[in-house]
Structure 1
Amino acid sequence: MWCDPAFTAVADAFREADGGAGGGAALAVYAGGRLVVDLWQGTADADGVRPWERDTVVNVFSASKGMLATLAHLYVQRGLLDLDAPVTRYWPGFATPTTIADLLAHRAGLPAVRRELPPGSLFDWDAMTAALAAESPWWTPGERHGYHAVTFGWLVGEVLRRVGGRPVRDLVRDELGVPGLWIGLPASEAGRAAHLAPPRAGDDPPAALTKAMSEPGSITMMAFGNPAEQFTPGLANTARWRAAEIPASNGHATARALATLYGRLVSGEMFGPDVLGRAVAPRSEGHDEVLLAGTRFALGYMLPCEIRPFAPNPRAFGHSGSGGALAFADPDAGVALAYTPSRLVVSAAGPDPRWEPMVAALYACL
């Protein structure tokens, strides 16, 4: 483990974060192009016996969207992907008249499939991409935005698969060049995976969101509950989930790997300034048709917003994940941070109570 003395306050905030609640976590921070914090603590198994190690990986849920976004812009950098092109240029037969940029910015109007999907669909790439290709948008593409919580992975992922010529899991592993990032954990790495501990209560969900989730057929309910097997208790600890290719939500990573990815982005190592500038510029802001609150998105990256105020600088970019995972970069401060916990905290809005003091300590150290 390592912590630059100038960032001791960040390490202290990390060590105090879980307050003995069990489980484990890791934290990594880059500043000025250097890894200045690389820490882990707690246990990684269900019984609280196996210590969290340097190479322990954990499901980071929607933080995996940042991996896909980075891969998309890597293809832009190489001239292989045109953000303004219609999706049909790369995906013939795709019914919705929308652009690659709209897919990335949650503006395509495809956060859910209306018809109830059969059991097994969650794990069937072809079934999900075919259903989305045939779906009619819930709003006119480009006119509004709404969080494509799970469909983002298949929509953006299918475009990337067609451009890259290989499954997304292989593209993330090989093209991003950062060991420790996976979409679907290989069987050879399964022994490194942390068990996700049962969630503790977080902030009460907004009343409007709670109501929408209980309304059969609502856009919010269908976005999170179709396929219905997403609500299977303990799903994320099963071998089937860990090994699957569900790019919006079953990414696995170490904190060090995520921080390295965002550290390379903020340093200019991966993209030229024009590509990065367009990638992280605000594209969707305001009322979210799915989350029913204020959100902000760039082209694939989440921006600090009402739902997830993860950094004090509005120009920061990254993505949070259900349960408390977080990875982001701040181009103005020259920092990147990743936090990967196994003890889940469920909160529909607001900062995770654990990473909030870490982020505050980081900015106080700069």
Structure 2
Amino acid sequence: MSYGTAGGADLPKGVRGVADPAFTWAVRSFAALFPHRRFGGGAMAVYLDGEPVVDVWTGWSDRAGQKRWDADTGAMVFSATKGVAATVIHRLADRGLVDYDAPVAEYWRDFGANGKADITVREVLSHRAGLSNLRGTQAAQILDHQQMEEVLAAAPADSLRGKPAYHALTYGWLLSGLARSVTGSGMRDLFRNEIAAPLGTDGMHLGRPPAGSATREAEIIGPQKLPNVPGLNRVAHRLAGSPRSFALGSIYFPTISELIVGDTPMLDSEMPAANAISTARSLARMYGAMANGGEAGGARLLSSESVAAVCGRRRDLTMDRGLFGLPMAFHLGYHASPVPGVLPGFGHVGLGGSHGWAIPNEGLGIGFVHNRLITPFLASDQVGFLGTANLVRRGAQTARSRGYRTVPTLGAPYPLQTAA
């Protein structure tokens, strides 16, 4: 189905949706990322001053290249999930239920075990809790989110406490344990009630959308067959268990690759650091609110006071022990660009390149999702959208100078749409 409005941009062949004409070059750049079926599909959405100005999608949502991406196709966004989980915590802080500088154990009593009584909410949000290592955790535990919360509550912090060390998977369970202690609800429900509901979209889920949901997850197109290297898992498991394994210890567990093939078993768990299914529209609306004083599309997500805290100064770029020394700057759950001057603002990128981003000084919120993962295009996927993002920024400047029309709100609204 194609969409269009009076004065809307002419979309490239194969692209559906609608965009203000000021963003024509950005949409063309986006379309160029998906030139063939083997490149899968994706979507891009842009909010300017809290209003939608771009909502487009293209390509295929299945591995066979038979099913077109549509308005309600969502992608697994991997670590971009962390930004959504952090926003849940900010919603709770906005209501006075959480204080960033209070100890986590003040809310989650079990967390105070083994010398962790003084670790603060701010430290957890900033990947400085010293709890990034999975410590030999098995796949069955990884898929049991409440067990992982219990494991982390009982564990001691390691030598990286207070230092930047990206908590690749444990981050989500740390936030869900905190949120569960405050609200009595798990993150799957909180993603819906604290994010999807106020934003008025069905397109945000933690894990697989339930039966009857309008949002349908795209299939990951790669990798599906990994080479069998004798002894590799044994060596990786041994290295990952080392306290100084850093990045490897934060992501590796036996049979990790089996969770992202076929029907993607990883989606049947709650991993608030990695397994959200989101449309580009939902991410753009969430970050568009942060770039617009807390409001987007007429919906209030955060108070202006909370937005001021979230948009506050990021730490200076610092070598991150959990990301192979990559310079990072985290602030309350979001990161800046690791390369100074490349892209202003903040957000969160996921493996493969899906991300949500806010540029408060320009009133911009951007969402970009796709279904490629570890493919020959990985390097370009991680950095290739930067060119498109800069075209979005130019488009926004043009839109302000010429005036612009908002585009229709596409996709299914909240609450869940049930099948007929």
Aligned to 1:286: 318
The Cα of 1:126 is off from its aligned counterpart by 2.4
Provide the C-alpha distance between the structure 1 equivalents of 2:58 and 2:93, rounded to a whole number of angstroms: 38
Provide the C-alpha distance between the structure 1 equivalents of 2:341 and 2:64, rounded to a whole number of angstroms: 31
- Does the alignment pair 1:127 with 2:147? yes
The Cα of 1:186 is off from its aligned counterpart by 3.1
Q: Which moved more, 1:263-272 or 1:30-39?
A: 263-272
C-alpha spacing 1:191/1:145, structure 2 compared with 1 (3 Å): closer
Q: Give 1:69's match in structure 2, choosing from 75, 78, 86.
A: 86
Q: Higher Cα Rg: structure 1 or 2?
A: 2
C-alpha spacing 1:84/1:274, structure 2 compared with 1 (3 Å): same
Provide the C-alpha distance between the structure 1 equivalents of 2:48 and 2:145, rounded to a whole number of angstroms: 38
Q: Give 1:112's match in structure 2, choosing from 133, 144, 151.
A: 133
Measured against aligned partners, the alpha-carbon deviations of 1:56-108 in whole angstroms (never above 9, x if no partner) come to 11101111111111111111111111111111111112132300010000011
Aligned to 2:179: 160
Aligned to 1:297: 330
Q: Secondary structure of 1:339's partner?
A: strand
Q: Give 2:304's match in structure 1, choosing from 263, 273, 287.
A: 273
Provide the C-alpha distance between the structure 1 equivalents of 2:73 and 2:309, rounded to a whole number of angstroms: 34
Provide the C-alpha distance between the structure 2 equivalents of 1:163 and 1:311, rounded to a whole number of angstroms: 38
Measured against aligned partners, the alpha-carbon deviations of 1:150-178 in whole angstroms (never above 9, x if no partner) come to 10000011101111211111011012223
What amino acid does structure 2 have at the position aligned with 1:362? Answer: V
Q: Give 1:321's match in structure 2, choosing from 315, 337, 350.
A: 350
Give percent identity, aligned residues only: 33
Aligned to 1:12: 28
Measured against aligned partners, the alpha-carbon deviations of 1:268-314 in whole angstroms (never above 9, x if no partner) come to 223333322222331474011111221111101121114xx79522x
8 Å CA contact retained: 2:34, 2:58: no
8 Å CA contact retained: 2:352, 2:378: no
TM-score between the two structures when normalised by the length of structure 2: 0.77
Q: Secondary structure of 2:309's partner?
A: helix
- Does the alignment pair 1:230 with 2:256? yes
Aligned residues between the structures: 348
Provide the C-alpha distance between the structure 2 equivalents of 1:130 and 1:259, rounded to a whole number of angstroms: 33
Aligned to 1:209: none
Measured against aligned partners, the alpha-carbon deviations of 1:239-266 in whole angstroms (never above 9, x if no partner) come to 5322211110000011011111111221
- Does the alignment pair 1:221 with 2:245? no
8 Å CA contact retained: 2:42, 2:69: yes
Q: Which moved more, 1:320-329 or 1:342-351?
A: 342-351
Aligned to 2:219: 195
8 Å CA contact retained: 1:310, 1:356: no
8 Å CA contact retained: 1:213, 1:221: no
Q: Secondary structure of 2:86's partner?
A: helix
Provide the C-alpha distance between the structure 1 equivalents of 2:368 and 2:223, rounded to a whole number of angstroms: 17
- 1:34-73 equivalences in 2 (<5 Å): 34-73=51-90
8 Å CA contact retained: 1:147, 1:290: yes
TM-score between the two structures when normalised by the length of structure 1: 0.88
**Aligned Cα root-mean-square deviation (Å):** 2.5
The Cα of 1:190 is off from its aligned counterpart by 8.9
Aligned to 2:209: 186
C-alpha spacing 1:274/1:283, structure 2 compared with 1 (3 Å): farther
The Cα of 1:18 is off from its aligned counterpart by 2.6
